């Protein structure tokens, strides 16, 4: 991996991510006994949003969101270029912080609550993601994504606990039940629209595209656990995604206390036991 894959991510991830999002809506509809929108629906949505007025409550509020967009692309590009996994995670956190700050800046009670919940979500997934990096380092001896991806055995064999903790927090990043507290997709609602309540038009389109980038990036991180064989990796990434949809459609949204407690405990127990196993192995 090199800067070429990073560049490829920048240009092609929105298409892949958009298709994933469309696929997601189609499958979800089928699970609910509906026909569902066309696969390309997310692209239509974004196309429409680009044609609408951009309403803001406070000047410069949308700039935070635009920064979130740029930083999300940067995060993913860094990941796919094979950069340092810890740097990727920090950059992801920075993007998340800007998104949350956009919600604060909007100075509306609904987006304020959404922003706080966004921060809570970040706090919930951060330990599991960092643990994944630590676990991968313990096995492969490097934080570099390129080195981790080149490891000859599937990492999940050595990191089952950490993989579970990682899978557990995936709904947070995909904004799906049971952890879609700050904002959620399509027909769901969360205290109006949570953090995106005051975002409209072009800025909302950017948020959508940023989420597509995030889809690809997060699935890419899932791929790392199976990266020894490219076909195994792709198949398992698909399976992860399918499982996620099942979870989304079979669970209800939980309260933030439950989200934080469960994700922290799962990361601590599953991740901790996994690390113990790795330490004893040496």
Partner 1 sequence: MGMLSKSPWVIHYDGSSCNGCDIEVLAALMPRFDVERFGVVNTGNPKHADILLLTGSINEQNKPVVLNIYEQMPNPKVVLAVGICATSGGIFRECYNVLGGADKVLPVDVYVPGCAVRPEAIIDAVVKGVGILEQKRAAMLAAQKA
Partner 2 sequence: MALPLLAFLILFPLFIAFLVLFVRKEAFFAVIIYPAAVILIVATCFLLGLSAGGSPTLIAVHAGWVEPLMLVVEVLAAIYLLFLAIKQRDWTVSALVIIQTVVLLGFHFSRAGEVHTRAELFIDVFSVMMGLVVGIVGTLIAVFAVGYMRDMHHHQHEIPDGRRVFFSIIFLFLSAMFGVCFSNNLSWMFFFWEITTVCSFLMIRYKGDATSVKNAFWALRWNLLGGLAFLIGIIYLCLTHHTIELDKMLALPKAWVMLPVALFCFAGLTKSAQLPFSSWLVGAMVAPTPVSALLHSSTMVKAGVYIVLRLATSLEGTFVGLIVAFVGLITFLICSFICISQNDAKKVLAYSTIANLGLIILCAGIGSPQAVWAGMLLIVFHAVSKGLLFLCVGSIEHKLHSRQIEDMSGLIIRLPKLSVMLQIGIAGMFLAPFGMLISKWAVLRAIVDFNPFFALFLIYGSTATLFFWVKWLGKVITVEKDYKNEETGISLDQWIPMGILTALTVLICGLFSPFANILIEPYIVALYGREVTLGAGNMLIMSIMLTFIALFPLTFLPTRGVKMAKPYLGGANVGDGRQFRDSLGGVKPMHMKNFYMEEYFSETRLMRLGVIVTTVFLAAMLAAGGM
What is the closest distance, in whole angstroms, from the C-beta atom of residue 55 to partner 1 in the complex? Answer: 5
Q: Which does 281 bind (CB under 5 to 8 A by kind): partner 2, partner 1, none?
A: none
Indicate whether 60 belongs to the interface with partner 2 (CB under 8 A): yes
**CA 211 → CA 13, 249, 263, 276, distances in Å?**
10, 19, 21, 35
Using CB under 8 A as the binding rule, the residues of this chain from 173 to 202 that contact partner 2 are 192, 197-198, 202
What is the closest distance, in whole angstroms, from the C-beta atom of residue 185 to partner 2 in the complex? Answer: 19
Count of residues in contact with partner 2, rule CB under 8 A: 63
Which residues touch 22 (CB under 8 Å, ≥6 apart)?
37, 38, 39, 40, 41, 42, 43
CA distance 238 to 160: 18
Selected from 133, 204, 245, 270, the binder of partner 1 by CB under 8 A is 204
Selected from 24, 45, 126, 180, the binder of partner 1 by CB under 8 A is 45
CA distance 59 to 62: 8
Task: Determine the interface stretch with partner 2 among 70-78, 163-171, 175-183, 225-233 (rule: CB under 8 A).
Answer: 70-78
CA distance 91 to 98: 11
CB 198 within 8 A of CB 108: yes
Query: How far from the centroid of its chain's Cα atoms is residue 191's Cα?
Result: 21
What is the closest distance, in whole angstroms, from the C-beta atom of residue 21 to partner 2 in the complex? Answer: 25
Residue keyed to tokens 């206390």: 257
Using CB under 8 A as the binding rule, the residues of this chain from 144 to 203 that contact partner 1 are 186-187, 189, 192-193, 196-201
Please say which residue, 187 or 280, places its beta carbon nearer to partner 1.
187
Which residues touch 104 (CB under 8 Å, ≥6 apart)?
111, 112, 115
What is the closest distance, in whole angstroms, from the C-beta atom of residue 231 to partner 2 in the complex? Answer: 30
| Binding residues for partner 1 (CB under 8 A) | 25, 29, 32-38, 41, 44-45, 47-48, 50-55, 186-187, 189, 192-193, 196-201, 204
């Amino acid at each position: 991996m090199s800067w070429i894959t990073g560049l490829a991510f920048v240009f092609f991830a929105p298409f892949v991510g958009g298709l994933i999002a469309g696929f997601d809506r189609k499958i979800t509809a089928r699970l609910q006994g509906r026909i569902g929108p066309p696969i390309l629906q997310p692209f239509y949505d974004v196309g429409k949003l680009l044609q609408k007025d951009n309403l803001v409550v406070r000047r410069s509020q949308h700039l935070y969101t635009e920064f979130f967009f740029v930083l999300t692309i940067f995060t993913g590009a860094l990941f796919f270029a094979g950069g340092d996994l810890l740097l990727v995670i920090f950059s992801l956190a920075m993007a998340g912080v800007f998104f949350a700050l956009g919600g604060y800046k909007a100075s509306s009670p609904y987006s304020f609550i959404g922003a706080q919940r966004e921060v809570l979500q970040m706090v919930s997934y951060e330990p599991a993601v960092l643990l994944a990096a630590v676990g991968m380092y313990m096995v492969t001896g490097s934080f570099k994504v390129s080195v981790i991806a080149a490891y000859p055995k599937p990492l999940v064999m050595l990191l089952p606990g950490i993989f579970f903790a990682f899978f557990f927090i995936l709904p947070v990043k995909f904004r799906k039940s049971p952890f879609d507290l700050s904002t959620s997709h399509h027909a769901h609602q969360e205290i109006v629209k949570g953090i995106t309540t005051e975002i409209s038009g072009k800025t909302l389109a950017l948020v959508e595209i940023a989420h597509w980038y995030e889809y690809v990036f997060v699935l890419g991180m899932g791929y790392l656990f199976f990266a020894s064989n490219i076909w195994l990796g792709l198949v398992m990434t698909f399976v992860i995604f399918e499982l996620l949809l099942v979870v989304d459609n079979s669970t209800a949204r939980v309260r933030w206390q439950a989200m934080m407690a469960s994700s922290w405990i799962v990361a601590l127990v599953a991740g901790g036991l996994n690390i113990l196993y790795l330490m004893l192995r040496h």
